[in-house]
Structure 1
Amino acid sequence: MHCSLTKPMIRRFSARDGASVAMQAEPDSFIRGLLNALPEHAAIIDDAGVIVCVNEAWREFARRNGAAGLAGEGSAYLEVCRKASLNGDRYARQALDGLESVLAGATEAFTMAYPCHSPGEERWFTLHATRINAVPGGALLRHANVTHRKLAEDKLREREARQAFLLELTDALRGLDEPQEITQTACEMLARHIDADRAAYVQISGEEFIFRESHARGSAQMQGRGPVAIFGRTMIEACRRGEMVWSDDCDLDPRFSEPEREAFRHFGARAFIGATLIRNGEWVGAFGVDSVAPRRWSESERELVGEAAARIWAAAERARAERAQRESEEKYRALFESIDEGYCILEAIVGEADRVQDFRFLEANPAYLRIVDVAGVSIVGRRGRELFSIEDEWLCAVGEAALRRERVHHEGESKALNRWLDAFFMPFGAPGSSLCAVRVSDTTERRRAEQKQREYAEMLLEADRRKDEFLATLAHELRNPLAPIRNAVYLQERYLAEGSGAARLPGLLEIMRRQTDHLVRLVDDLLEISRINRGVIELHKEPVELAAVLRQAAETSAPAMEAGGHEFVLDLPDEPICFLADPVRLTQVFANLIDNAAKYTPPGGAIALRARREDGQAIVSVKDDGVGISAEMLPRVFDLFARGDGPRHRTQGGLGIGLSLVRSLAEQHGGAVEARSAGEGAGAEFIVRLPLMQASSEALKEPRPATPAPLASLRVVVADDNRDAADSLGLMLKEFGAVARVVYDGRAALEAVKELSPDLVILDLGMKDMDGIETARRIRALPQGKKAMIAALTGWGQAEQRQRTHEAGFDRHLVKPAAIDDLGQLLREAAE
């Protein structure tokens, strides 16, 4: 390479850089080396725009592009640009203006992009000029190939424009309802955007094609029909494979035979792009554009036609489906919605391994919406998992019906819906449609009824078992006191017959009294729990002091603890705890707990009764170190007739009533009771919590002892068809000092009242010929019975019986066997 740098420029380089002697001798080789080191095509021009030096890349670039006149030193680069500019080359004009500005010193650098296209290749370059600020001046020119970058930028712009058009197309089609309107609008929009002469939608029907909708710009509309075969086997096979087809020039396209070219000429299409439309694997149509003249279709244009066709087809399919649905809606809807069972149509959504992972609702009737609890909500088009979680067995049933075309019956629980469903899954639509119809019945109520029936049967069995256990226990508990009573009666008869056993009678009488009291208590407990469970018990609340109630309970239970030799600890708070309560019932609560502890604590064990105030409550604890309570028994220890299953529990006796009474009475006082135990052998603790109500200690008062009334002149008539009961009561009344007349039926009672004019009449309600109710009414009708007190003494203590006796004119209602204190109180009231 020859470089014609002037000596002044060489001297400037040498002086500036302090070059060596060798460099001063060969300045051209140094400049040449610098230029060849550059990766671009590089050249140096002087102030006049003449090339003074080039590198090998520049020389090769000029040679390859037919610009040999610019390949070497001495070429007038600026003059070449000037001539091209005068011939209308806008890129040459831009280069000329930029280079003149740099050479004149107006700008330091200049850059531009320009095309350099060869017949078979499209290329882009950048020209960059940098001023040389050294005498005699000039500029460094560099060319770089930026074809790939330029093409990438062009493709990006084309892609953005394509996406913008597709969005515009989608928005335009979204508001259209008719398939013809959709395809016609799409034809017009696509033809304008792609600058095509025509656009059309072609329907394929068997071996025939039909032009449906089309748009033309200054040329004939594409219309009519004809055999598909005229397009040639190559085109037909590609279309059936779902491929895009196009041709830049049908007349020169080697794929077409002369008859096929003639067919394209007949329709006036010299160049075209076609997007194939496939439905269920079948070629059903095509959408495309054409040109009346040859046209080189770009890749971007072909992609645009394909994507637009897909969207147009989807919109048209949607419109066709909606129109078909509208046409059959009235008759179909009437039938569909009249079905009282749930009915829906599902489209299976297949995931990996051809397994159904979800489904889409295509239809659902009101009954189905009610069953799945989405009544009033549109679920058509939505996925099942959007609405609720779906168990695998339901998805499997959908797959069997929709994909394998088998009928499936499945009944099971839907945990997401909290319902039991009985469903039939049936294939729906044409083969390959992935659809199924489902008929659903809600069997929840039936299932629940069956479950309740099973639970009720189990409850009856349990109740029957507990009844048998209770009756056996009751028989056992009744025999316990009856045996010593009968023994005592036998011994008493024998001692009296011998005439020598009078000294032994007090002991026998004590046995009989103690065991009779035990019998009375068993019966009272049974009646008590019945009244409490029916809510007929009434609490007689008054101001009480807790310590007094607890001492009374301890005294009541003292015999049981003494019999077991138990150590008893009573721990009461120093300050009084006063509140409103029924002292009798409250005493019963704590006495039952102490008795229970004594029953299940081995001889010599310890029982502690403690009380305290805490957070507005009275807390009372009864704790023992006895046999304890198992974890299985602990939750039902307060149930009626509940007794421990262990042998140590069974040997203690009792009906399983006491703790149930405790819970009921505590709750009636607004409180609660809790049982604690670490297990069998670890003792037990029962904690009662009672709310404290306002009751001052000054309001507490000791009950006044009843003033004995003179009974010697008290006249009493007793009527009971149970002679032993009547006679024994008559003897007791005489012991109280009353004058008693004992009769055994209602008519005799009337005669006795007429004769005696009694102060008190005691009637049994269950007399045979004339019951106590009728007898009382007749007594009230007698002059002698108007002022007399009439009391019922009966084994019936229910609220209904008490109401009946009150309405019949009775003044009092006593339950057999009446306590001595209650009987004495009755006599005193009658005497007053």
Structure 2
Amino acid sequence: MSVASLLRLASVTTSKRSAPARYGGALLIAGCAIALKLAFYWLLGDDAPFILYFPAVVAGAWFGGLDGGLVVTAACSAFVWYFYFIPHRSFSPPPLHNTVQLGTFIASSVMCSLLAENLHRARRLAARSAERLRIAQDHSLDGFVTLWAVRDAPGRIVDFRWEYVNPAAAKMLERASESLLGKGLLHTLPGDSAKHELFERCARVVETGEPVDVELPWGEADRRRWFRIMIVKLHDGIAVHFSDITGRKRADEERAALFASERRARAQAEEANRLKDEFLATISHELRTPLNAILGWSHLLQARSAAAEAAEQRARGLAAIERNARCQARLIEDILDVSRIITGKVRLERQLVDLDAVIGAAVESLRPAADAKGVALELAVAARGARVFGDATRLQQVCWNLVSNAIKFTPAGGVVGVSIAQRGADLHVEVSDTGQGIRPEFLPFVFDRFSQADSSTTRRHGGLGLGLAIVRHLVELHGGSVSARSEGEGKGATFDVALPVAGPAQLERHGLVQARDGEGGADVARASPGALERPLDGLRVLVVDDEADAGEIAVAMLRELGVEPRVARSAEEALRALVEFRPDILVSDLGMPFEDGFSLMRKVRALPPDAGGGIPAVAVTAYARSEDRQRALAAGFQAYLAKPISAADLADVVSNLAVQLSSGPAGWRPLAP
């Protein structure tokens, strides 16, 4: 029986009886005791006058509390005093020994009545507490149950029996209280591991008396819930208080997942910040190194006299300046390419491309660097004439990056091999070397931006760690793939680029192949090889550039071609020169103060043809994006050059425009003399 049941049974106390009932009952008990005394007078005599009245006092106190006990005590004392003490039938003072007997009886009876009253009071308090507990448990939002231990013959706990289940517990357990009461714990709960774990913990509480506070999962995996369970001992049983913490657990799991995600994001941010710092340090070093050579040689060339021994040093200095300037230009171009890749602004000028010609040109451009380092550069073409549909300049950039990378990491006496072969529907370009190879742990990251196997200040090879990232992106834009393999450090590396072969539909659609340079180079229709050799003597070229150094460089390059150049520092000055100088070709910078090259070209094209409105024009700018080129061509320029320009690019563009001038297409006629 549960504690609550016992307390409810004990709640029937004297407080529920009226005063007449308590007094009447006490008098009835006293009368019965007197009657028994008279009935057994022949046996007891006068020797034990109070022997039957002590039980009567106890019964009266139990029935009527303090009042009932006192009534029985008074009635019995009066009866004995009147009928038994000498003188009989009188309330005169009795002899001393009778007085002692009477006093002892009265004192004992009063004490017994007080104890009975205290017992009744305690029972009333316990009953009220039990009632409050019952109401609280019945209306509690948490589950509360009591279970009693079931033991086998040796005394081991083999199960627990449900004794009390409050409504909240029944709801959480998804069982009716009546279906649990009196039954065993192990036979009424689902599951195996969780049920037996709970049983073991309950048995341990009964054996040790130490309470347990634990969180346990409950139910099948798809309906699992979490409970926080407090188990305390009750004699040979337990009281279990539990609450559903599934929501809190899920919140904890979500919070833990968010925390883990935040830690990963923070680690990624810290890694990105570290890479940024390394990149900034690397780019600072890589940009300052060529600048140091350029500035140093410039200072020496200005300070040296024109002595004979200075001529050779001047030549070396000029070569160093050109070499380092080209190095810096390539670094800047790599950074711009990565920026375009990140923002998704890389555009391909797709056409049918003879891949062997593109790869061959890239290899030949790097042969001097390989020879200077003592590295053998070999080219093997097994698929001549095979074409891909792509951007020739970008494909050449892919090959240039891979081959230059191989040369950089191959020591003197090593070999760099380039091969082209068709396998199935793909053309494969393999670049292999006998250089330092790639560590296995670094191989998965070799195509990541800013990723370098050695980023320390003592590294032997320069670079920003951008070349291979650019290669991967450009190859993927062409619908191909690139992979790297290496057997480890000191065993060389091989890079394999796979590009889809141009299909019949593309070959038919592009039967007339247009040769167009990629982004960052010249963009003109090509003339025949014979026409390009036509002399340019007497051709007039107007150069428009607000920067004096840039204008002077362009003029010097044009003079080497035999043309007659002139410089205008602004759009306004250029419009005057069209009338005064009467040029055949216009070369204009796009970015100028007050009025840019676009505005100048709009004004030029608004002129009548005989006033220069049809003059061929070349746009020159530091803005090397595809959209900048398209905007320039749409504005009326026939060709486009991205800074820094080379003498070869400028000669190529001017020569082609000169050929078109000689063929006399409508609107491209030179000004009349």
Q: Same fold (TM over 0.5)?
A: yes
Aligned equivalent of 1:629 = 438
Matched, 1:660 2:473: no
Distance 2:145 2:430 in 1: 65
Going from structure 1 to structure 2, the CA distance change for 1:438 and 1:595 (only over 3 Å counts) comes to same
Matched ranges for 1:274-289 at <5 A = none
- 1:313-332 per-residue CA deviation (whole Å, 9 max, x = no partner) reads xxxxxxxxxxxxxxx9xx99
Aligned equivalent of 1:245 = none
Aligned equivalent of 2:262 = 453
Structure 2: state its 5+ residue gaps.
1-6, 12-134, 151-155, 161-167, 174-187, 516-525, 662-667, 669-673
Matched, 1:509 2:336: no
Aligned equivalent of 2:556 = 731
1:438 pairs with one of 244, 256, 260 = 244
Distance 1:648 1:536 in 2: 33
Aligned equivalent of 2:588 = 762
- Alpha-carbon offset, residue 382 of structure 1: 8.1
Matched ranges for 1:685-700 at <5 A = 685-694=494-503
Distance 1:400 1:604 in 2: 79
Going from structure 1 to structure 2, the CA distance change for 1:687 and 1:428 (only over 3 Å counts) comes to same
Distance 1:553 1:484 in 2: 26
Matched ranges for 1:585-624 at <5 A = 585-624=394-433
1:815 pairs with one of 638, 642, 653 = 642
Distance 2:273 2:394 in 1: 31
Distance 1:614 1:778 in 2: 55
Structure 1: state its 5+ residue gaps.
1-203, 209-327, 337-342, 366-380
Aligned equivalent of 1:556 = 365
Matched ranges for 1:513-532 at <5 A = 513-532=322-341
Distance 2:267 2:425 in 1: 43
Distance 1:674 1:460 in 2: 27
Matched ranges for 1:234-383 at <5 A = 363=171, 383=190
Matched, 1:797 2:624: yes
Checking the alignment, whether the CA contact within 8 Å between 1:733 and 1:739 is kept in structure 2 is yes
Matched, 1:675 2:484: yes
- 1:565-609 per-residue CA deviation (whole Å, 9 max, x = no partner) reads 123343332776444333332232222222111111111112222
Going from structure 1 to structure 2, the CA distance change for 1:364 and 1:617 (only over 3 Å counts) comes to farther
Distance 1:353 1:656 in 2: 71
Going from structure 1 to structure 2, the CA distance change for 1:575 and 1:812 (only over 3 Å counts) comes to closer
Where 1:626 maps in the other structure, the secondary structure is coil
Indicate the percent of aligned positions where both proteins have the same amino acid. 32
Going from structure 1 to structure 2, the CA distance change for 1:449 and 1:577 (only over 3 Å counts) comes to same
C-alpha RMSD of matched pairs (Å): 5.3
Matched ranges for 1:113-128 at <5 A = none
Aligned equivalent of 2:279 = 470
Where 2:538 maps in the other structure, the secondary structure is coil
Aligned equivalent of 1:146 = none
Matched ranges for 1:92-107 at <5 A = none
Where 1:814 maps in the other structure, the secondary structure is strand
Distance 1:769 1:418 in 2: 74
TM-score by length of 1: 0.47
Going from structure 1 to structure 2, the CA distance change for 1:674 and 1:406 (only over 3 Å counts) comes to same
Distance 2:196 2:397 in 1: 59
Supply the AA of the counterpart residue of 1:630. Answer: R
- Higher relative CO (CA 8 A, sep ≥ 6), structure 1 or 2? 2
Distance 1:795 1:393 in 2: 75
Moved more, 610-619 or 646-655: 646-655
Distance 2:144 2:404 in 1: 70
- Alpha-carbon offset, residue 762 of structure 1: 0.7
Aligned equivalent of 2:22 = none
Distance 1:394 1:796 in 2: 74
Matched, 1:712 2:521: no
Going from structure 1 to structure 2, the CA distance change for 1:610 and 1:782 (only over 3 Å counts) comes to closer
| Higher-helix-fraction structure | 2
1:829 pairs with one of 654, 657, 667 = 657
Checking the alignment, whether the CA contact within 8 Å between 2:587 and 2:617 is kept in structure 1 is yes
Checking the alignment, whether the CA contact within 8 Å between 1:345 and 1:364 is kept in structure 2 is no
- 1:675-727 per-residue CA deviation (whole Å, 9 max, x = no partner) reads 1122222221212222233267996989665434757344424122x321222
2:450 pairs with one of 630, 637, 641 = 641
Equivalent pairs counted in the alignment come to: 473
Distance 1:536 1:395 in 2: 67
TM-score by length of 2: 0.57
Distance 2:146 2:640 in 1: 77
Going from structure 1 to structure 2, the CA distance change for 1:776 and 1:546 (only over 3 Å counts) comes to closer
Where 2:436 maps in the other structure, the secondary structure is coil
Distance 1:205 1:829 in 2: 114
Distance 2:657 2:146 in 1: 88
Checking the alignment, whether the CA contact within 8 Å between 2:542 and 2:568 is kept in structure 1 is no
Where 2:361 maps in the other structure, the secondary structure is helix
Checking the alignment, whether the CA contact within 8 Å between 2:542 and 2:586 is kept in structure 1 is yes
Checking the alignment, whether the CA contact within 8 Å between 2:145 and 2:239 is kept in structure 1 is no
